[in-house]
Structure 1
Amino acid sequence: MQMPVHIVAAGGFVENDQGEILLVKIRRSGEWVFPGGQVEVGENLMNGLVREINEESGIDVEVSHLIGVYSNTATYEGHSGVKIIPTKVMFDFVCKPVGGKLTTSDETADSRWVSKNKVLDMISAPAIRTRYQAYLDYNGSVQYMDYITKPQFAIKLSRKV
């Protein structure tokens, strides 16, 4: 039996004291997203998330609590020599800013604080919009969702756990 291969990632909904949400604009796609990314070998989820948020936005955060677990079970051809992108498992956390200064990176073209009610005006990717809505709807139960992003976004399973 071949060992399964998954990408593990974490996303952070960073909300400041003014009720604004941290968004970053991805350089490659031009899309606005909440910060996060892949966990590196030997790194735990929360440390990976703190690192990714800082790398993408310059903001230092403290991880508060888990709000969602997502499986993107679509497999598709990658870019930059990657043959096939495997299933992704993503964990979304609420985070509080504790320092740093807004900046950009090799991956991000912009970073900014956005009023909570304006975020969906900026986010176009269906999966990111769905995960942000789960953040808005959070009531103490963790959202679990299985979806695909290609050839088009579709939710295969959605439930609270």
Structure 2
Amino acid sequence: MTSADHLTTLDDQPRARLLELVGAIEPWDDVEHAHLETATQWIAGGAPVYRMREPDVPAMHLVSYFVVLDETRGQLLLVAHRKAGLWLPTGGHVEPGEDPWTAVVRECREELGIQAVASPITGEHPLFLTVTQTRGHRPHTDVSLWYLLSADAHTITSCDQGEFNAIRWLTDEQVLEESDELLDPHMHRFTRKLQHYRSRSSGHHG
């Protein structure tokens, strides 16, 4: 890593881990390919990657999203996010020095009240990466690692009312039928990538 000389020893390990995580993601399309390149350059370049102060310091920072999949029903969980005014996966900002998977475990407990169980499709590795400009007051850029969790829909009975208005379980097809304007701007692309991985995974086992 060219910038290793001026990085502190404490910072080196998480940064190397992030580069490893990002490098292992197979780009789904040209957009994700570009986002992965942006994220790699940003991490390797030595810029601060964790949010230090809400909502926008530094202006670009790391987020862990987690999409909960009920395999039996074939449904994904989306939440109505109060601030964003959109239906999104659950997730949150990665704390300074925190491993993104650790952030998933923490946020899953806080937001949904359940233990995070990694999907067998992906394990404790992100499936997808996005670089997104947020909407509204004091916009900033979220570099989001998207993880996939497994849960039975009936085990999720509540969500963080401070952050979310409501929750919905939707099939892949229902997600893709929803207007882009109502969802995270990359939700359709994530869902198509997930469909591909699920069919590939079931093919391996079948």
Q: Deviations over 1:81-129 (max 9, x none)?
A: x5x62x4322112111275533342111111322232123345342233
Task: Point out the structure with max Rg over C-alpha.
Answer: 2
Aligned mates of 1:77, 1:3 — CA distance in 2: 26
- Structure scoring higher RCO (CA < 8 A, sep ≥ 6) equals 1
Alpha-carbon contact 1:11-1:93 (below 8 Å) kept: yes
Q: Which of residues 130, 142, 160 is equivalent to 2:189? A: 130
Aligned mates of 2:112, 2:166 — CA distance in 1: 8
Unaligned runs of 5+ in 2: 1-5, 7-44, 50-60, 202-206
Partner AA of 1:119 in structure 2: V
> Residue 3 of structure 2 corresponds to which residue in structure 1?
none
> Residue 149 of structure 2 corresponds to which residue in structure 1?
95
Compute the RMSD of aligned alpha carbons.
3.0
> Residue 157 of structure 1 corresponds to which residue in structure 2?
none
After superposing on structure 2, the runs of 4+ consecutive aligned residues of structure 1 that deviate more than 4 Å are none
Distance 1:95 1:43, change over 3 A: same
Aligned mates of 1:40, 1:18 — CA distance in 2: 33
Alpha-carbon contact 2:172-2:191 (below 8 Å) kept: no
Structure with higher strand content: 1
> Residue 79 of structure 2 corresponds to which residue in structure 1?
24
Q: Deviations over 1:51-94 (max 9, x none)?
A: 2233333343212323112334x5x8973xx5x62x43221121
Q: How many residues align?
A: 134
Alpha-carbon contact 2:63-2:143 (below 8 Å) kept: yes
1:50 aligns with 2:105: yes
TM-score by length of structure 2 reads 0.53
TM-score by length of structure 1 reads 0.65
Unaligned runs of 5+ in 1: 141-161
> Residue 153 of structure 1 corresponds to which residue in structure 2?
none
**What displacement does 1:12 show?**
1.5
> Residue 117 of structure 1 corresponds to which residue in structure 2?
173
Q: Which of residues 114, 128, 131 is equivalent to 1:68? A: 128
Structure with higher helix content: 2
